[in-house]
Structure 1
Amino acid sequence: MESDLLILIVVGVLSALYLFMILFFLIFWLKQKRFQPSTKTAKEVSVTIVVPVRNEEKGIKECIESLFNQTYPKYLYEVIVVDDYSTDDTRKIMREMDIPALRLFDLQQYLGNRGEKKPNKKEAISIGIKNAQGDLIITTDGDCLRSENWLHTMVDYFVNNNYKLITAPVVIKPAFTPLQILQQADVMTLMGITAATITAGKPTMCSGANLMYAKETFLELEGFKGNHDVPSGDDIFLMQKVHEKYADGIGFVKHFDAAVFTLPEKGLFKFLGQRIRWVSKSVGYANWWVKLQLLFAYLFNVLVIAAVAYSITKFIYTQEKFALLPGAIALGSKLFADLIFCIPVFHFFKKIWLALLLPFIEVLHIFYISFIGIISLSGRYRWRGRKVS
């Protein structure tokens, strides 16, 4: 009986801590006001959009067309695409696009054959920035689309707030299958946490699919120096560097016009590979707050599974209703905490109906997070046709 009480106390304390963590996110999500872009940018600023690509033949044309279909003055921006050893028709499609402000660079000309079998996103971005003519840099992915007001909104926010680095929403669409719905809800929640932690002055994450910073800042901080041994993380590690040098220099654009849209991963294995790639960045985190937050979030998901399994097993053998308490407290706390955070976040993304599916999404989320934490220990995954370890 003493052991049962101890288990109940441990579950109760950890559940309370999880609830406080989510309340922290909620408070700072709500604290940040929606950005209201001006009708005209305060001053003219030149921009270079850097797009590192590998095997993006299916979406690269639409991506580039959306980049040049912007309300921002055409003479103020250019697009640099850096190809990372694509084995499909990505380069061919790019060369056939007759757009003066579109510049294509081939990574193989810089790295030779030595870069063929390893991820080179940091090198691709660095080469793009080295050749950039703009004062501001925006990185995005070759499978992303955006509204015509995207660039104006990003520049307006950056210029009017004197930030060193800003990030903005990434949205998964469309979403019809259970796996697609899980991805959409998961990424929206991550965007909410991104905005909340940045507003709190404790930036945890950002996405290189929608990231802006001054070229001068990138060069001042020596780019990705010190993080080249980690295959991914071009976004997070740069954000960490900026935060260390400029504590108040990071912002999140809370406006839907600043969002970029990307397709969900097709198939379970591609989805898991993407998530393992995301988790692999954590080995390079220098901030103890970020590490502690990620570790606790993972362990709490494992705790929920363990508590529910313990309660069900205990109830089957004893038929005592008290046995169900640990599982009910852990699962109930997670459902309640996530619901009160997700409702305003989903509302911002115009997907409030997803809150009705949250119990279903939560079950999938708990198991996939726990599973990803285990298989990511190997550090191996496949991405864009490459084996990464």
Structure 2
Amino acid sequence: MTFIFLLIFVICLAYSLLIIYYTIGWVKAKKNINYNITPKTFISVVVSARNEEKNIKNLLDSIHKQIYTNFELIIIDDHSKDNTVQIIENFNFKNCSVLKLNDNQQGKKEALYTAISKSKGELIVTTDADCIMGKNWLYNIATFFQQEKAEFIIGPVKQTITNNFFQNLFSLDFLSLQAAGAGATELQNPFMCNGANLAFTKNLWKKTNIIEGQKYASGDDVFFLHTAINIILKKSIRFLFSEDAIVSTNSPANISEFFEQRIRWASKAKGYKNKIAILTSFIILMYNLLLLCLLTVSPFSIKVFYGFILTLSVKLIIDFPILYISSKFYGQKKLLWFYLPLQLIYYLYLPIIAVLSLIKKYKWKGRVCDNINSMSMEEQKNKIQEEIEN
């Protein structure tokens, strides 16, 4: 029994220090943009789209309303089977061009590589076809880029609040990921980003040559970040703390979609080489596995039950500050009403997702993915380059 409580103490301490570390990063972050700067950078906004007829019009409206006009929009279609391309072509957008993947190309990574290869901007900004943003989005990115001289900018992303209980749980879960990633980035230990709101220099993209994790179907954003960390100074990787730069996307519509999404995200963890990402994933998984094990054994031991209550209480106390601060920034304080329900089930589904990500194929955009592309990183890069040149 002494060993059990020692184990609880060690895991609780490691988890507490980790979350406190990310909270400090969020609190210390520079949140001011110098709006006296007149941005002049030409931006290429790149979007990969597949079967997005329900969402693409909203994205086009959002980008068309940008007050910053020194940009081009490149949308590359990944073999859509609906009216996505027709909607784009019928939209009166002079700065927009539509590309299509060849028959022997598919997937978001190939789509983005192809589009970026043809882009003209000094700064590349990626987002997703199901996103919307405010009119000051690009202006804030361009201003921050010139102000901070950052080569890699991680933008804020939120999932919209709805009237659905489970969707709001999913949104709060997503907020916790955003908060941790932002805090770590501002302490010069970036490990997480989201391709729905990402900016990087074209020069950096050219330097990356071969990106880590290309054999995985998911993770175009995170693996690019991990590759960039090995090329540029960590202080050149920044999180953009500006409410006007927030990009909004929909939360999963139901529990099934949520699990498919999280399994897809978790599947790429096998390819991590970044020590911070590995350490963070390991500590969080161990903490939640500990909670699950303690709960399972609790009916047979009152002492183990006390250990479970203690461990869960520590998590409730440690997690709240960073979620409270970040929810204010994202304008999502209403999500805090779902804090306790999320904490009571988080340790139940996280280990399940971790296991399923190792063994289960997942569906994405109507395709079944097996987590791993059989080609090597070098073979994929050469294949894409040949297709572009031809």
Compute the TM-score of the two structures, normalised by the length of structure 1.
0.91
Is the counterpart of residue 290 in structure 1 residue 290 in structure 2?
A: no
Q: How does 1:240-259 map to 2 (within 5 A)?
A: 240-247=226-233, 248-259=235-246
Is the counterpart of residue 60 in structure 1 residue 46 in structure 2?
A: no
Q: How does 1:3-42 map to 2 (within 5 A)?
A: 4-39=1-36, 41-42=37-38
Q: Secondary structure at the match of 1:51?
A: strand
Residue deviations 1:5-36 (CA, integer Å, cap 9, x gap)? 22122112211221111111111110103233
CA distance 1:225–1:24, change in 2 (3 Å): closer
Is the counterpart of residue 149 in structure 1 residue 136 in structure 2?
A: yes
Q: 1:341 aligns with which of 302, 322, 344?
A: 322
Q: 2: distance between equivalents of 1:387 and 1:270?
A: 14
Q: 1: distance between equivalents of 2:28 and 2:7?
A: 32
Q: How does 1:1-389 map to 2 (within 5 A)?
A: 4-39=1-36, 41-72=37-68, 74=69, 76-108=70-102, 112=103, 114-115=104-105, 120-222=107-209, 224-247=210-233, 248-315=235-302, 322-389=303-370
Q: 2: distance between equivalents of 1:175 and 1:218?
A: 37
- Tell me the percent identity: 28
Alpha-carbon RMSD across the aligned residues, in angstroms, is 1.5
Q: 1: distance between equivalents of 2:276 and 2:61?
A: 40
| CA deviation after TM superposition for structure 1 residue 251, in Å | 0.3
Unpaired runs of 5+ residues, structure 2, are 371-390
Q: 1: distance between equivalents of 2:225 and 2:143?
A: 20
CA distance 1:182–1:357, change in 2 (3 Å): closer
Letter aligned with residue 35 of structure 1: N
Contact 2:212 2:224 in 1 (8 A): no
CA distance 1:374–1:150, change in 2 (3 Å): same
Letter aligned with residue 242 of structure 1: A
Q: 2: distance between equivalents of 1:178 and 1:85?
A: 34
Q: Secondary structure at the match of 2:230?
A: helix
| CA deviation after TM superposition for structure 1 residue 187, in Å | 1.4
Q: Secondary structure at the match of 2:363?
A: strand
CA distance 1:345–1:91, change in 2 (3 Å): same
Letter aligned with residue 71 of structure 1: I
Unpaired runs of 5+ residues, structure 1, are 316-321
| CA deviation after TM superposition for structure 1 residue 383, in Å | 0.4
Q: Secondary structure at the match of 1:115?
A: coil
Provide the residue aligned with 2:383 in structure 1.
none
Provide the residue aligned with 2:375 in structure 1.
none
| CA deviation after TM superposition for structure 1 residue 226, in Å | 4.9
Contact 2:327 2:335 in 1 (8 A): yes
Q: 2: distance between equivalents of 1:357 and 1:283?
A: 31
Q: 2: distance between equivalents of 1:383 and 1:105?
A: 21
Q: 2: distance between equivalents of 1:31 and 1:12?
A: 28
Residue deviations 1:301-326 (CA, integer Å, cap 9, x gap)? 111111123223313xxxxxx44321
Residue deviations 1:342-373 (CA, integer Å, cap 9, x gap)? 11111222222333431111123222212101
Contact 1:182 1:365 in 2 (8 A): no
| CA deviation after TM superposition for structure 1 residue 175, in Å | 2.5
Q: Secondary structure at the match of 1:171?
A: strand
Q: 2: distance between equivalents of 1:31 and 1:236?
A: 23
Contact 1:169 1:259 in 2 (8 A): yes
**Ranges of 4+ aligned residues in structure 1 off by more than 6 Å:** none
Contact 2:212 2:226 in 1 (8 A): no
Contact 2:122 2:201 in 1 (8 A): yes
Q: Secondary structure at the match of 1:235?
A: helix
| CA deviation after TM superposition for structure 1 residue 340, in Å | 2.4
Aligned residues: 369
Provide the residue aligned with 2:386 in structure 1.
none
Q: 1: distance between equivalents of 2:39 and 2:13?
A: 48
| CA deviation after TM superposition for structure 1 residue 299, in Å | 1.6
Q: 1: distance between equivalents of 2:33 and 2:41?
A: 19
Q: 1: distance between equivalents of 2:211 and 2:275?
A: 20
Letter aligned with residue 262 of structure 2: R
Q: Secondary structure at the match of 1:140?
A: strand
| CA deviation after TM superposition for structure 1 residue 150, in Å | 0.5
Contact 1:54 1:384 in 2 (8 A): yes
Contact 2:154 2:193 in 1 (8 A): yes
Residue deviations 1:192-248 (CA, integer Å, cap 9, x gap)? 1111111111111000110001111101222x5453311111111111121111122
Contact 1:170 1:261 in 2 (8 A): yes
Q: 2: distance between equivalents of 1:353 and 1:264?
A: 15
Q: Secondary structure at the match of 2:262?
A: helix
Compute the TM-score of the two structures, normalised by the length of structure 2.
0.91
